[in-house]
Amino acid sequence: MTQAARVASRPLVLLTDPIVPEAHARLAADADVELLPPGLIGEASDQALRDCIAQFDGLIVRRQLPSDLFERAHCLRAVVRHGVGVDFIPVDRATAHGIAVANTPDTNSNAVAEYAVSALLAMTRKLSAFDDAVRNGDWNCRMIAAEQSRELRGSTLGIIGFGAIGRRVAEIAGAGFGMKLLAHTSTPSKLPPHVDPAELTELFARSDYIVIACPLTPATRGMVNKSLLSHVRPTAVLINVARGAIIQQADLIDALSNGTLGGAVLDVFEQHPLPDDSRLRALQNVLLTPHIAGLTQDAAMAMGLAAVDTMLALLRGERPHNIVNPEFNAVNQETTK
């Protein structure tokens, strides 16, 4: 079947993972929808995508795609990230093959920001440790609560990346808790008056808490390393809601182990799932969560509906504002299936 014939019929869209029922129903009203078999991870997931991709017009992405996916025969016209970060998608290869790529910006920014702030509170008040103590019958742990707990008001928060997430973190932390705010961003002139720009080494040296909220790019990959961590305060807490590869994990573990850094809250890691033998699991000054910062009922609904609306617009030949590769080559591909 030619691409023209495919366009004339109902398009076929693949979901790498389920989306909320309301969004699925909206998509199914105008397209035929299939779901990648559940439970596949790693190479099994990659191979399943390679084996089936030829038949689909659209792909909604919630997991890492294999880098060679678009090198195979296909009739794909649109790939939409159910979320913000497009590092899950080989965008350059999509562009080379005339495939539009889009994301759903700002749909989970508040969810991620609220997670970051909840992480600040959980660490300052040692909630996990006191919960464990009470469950184990140690009510007298309250006698050391004052010496182990801090308040956020008046402390300094450094934010790396000042996009939608970073801005929302700053709003909550500044207006809600009276924190002093620093930010490292490529556009410091756009910072609000109550947020001071800072270079990375200065931000690490001055901050009581640090939130990483920048995208993963060649420039930010491995950015938080031994050299940068040498500037941090020994009582500081580092929170990563961005991508695991921004931190050189071995250097972070060493800093947490030797007292260079006071604590960390990590929602993302160099490898997902976190390996059973990861040294992070043994550290008592770390909170670990399975990449859930942006996962709330509200965000899932917003992301699902935005992903579907964007996909349908792209399949109609429209160019929504959230295309991330506007230079894609819209050549009519006469792919035979």
Burial 15-36 (b: 16+ CB within 10 A, else e): bbeebbeebbebbeeebebeeb
User: Which CATH number does 3-107+296-315 carry?
Assistant: 3.40.50.720
Residue 173: DSSP 8-state: I
Please tell me if the domain spanning 3-107+296-315 has the same topology as the one spanning 109-288. Answer: yes
* pLDDT at residue 330, rounded to an integer: 53
**Which residue do the tokens 């191979």 mark?**
47
Contacts of 217 (CB under 8 A, 6+ apart): none
Domain range list for the chain: 3-107+296-315, 109-288
Q: What local confidence, expressed as pLDDT, does residue 51 receive?
A: 94
Name the CATH superfamily, with its identifier, for domain 109-288.
Answer: NAD(P)-binding Rossmann-like Domain (3.40.50.720)
Pairing of strands 12-15, 58-61: parallel
**The two structure tokens encoding residue 190:** 């756009």
Q: pLDDT at position 320, please?
A: 95
On whether the CB atoms of residues 65 and 88 are closer than 8 A, the answer is: yes
pTM comes to 0.86
Q: SS in 3 state form for 249-279?
A: HHHHHHHHHHCCCCEEEECCCCCCCCCCCCH
Element (H, E) at 81: strand 78-81
Per-residue pLDDT of the chain (337 residues; tens, 9 = 90+): 445 445 458 999 999 999 999 999 999 999 999 999 999 988 999 999 999 999 999 999 999 999 999 998 889 999 999 998 899 999 999 999 999 999 999 999 999 999 999 999 999 999 999 999 999 999 999 999 999 999 999 999 999 999 999 999 999 999 999 999 999 999 999 999 999 999 999 999 999 999 999 999 999 999 999 999 999 999 999 999 999 999 999 999 999 999 999 999 999 999 989 999 999 999 999 999 999 999 999 999 999 999 999 999 999 999 999 999 999 965 444 433 3
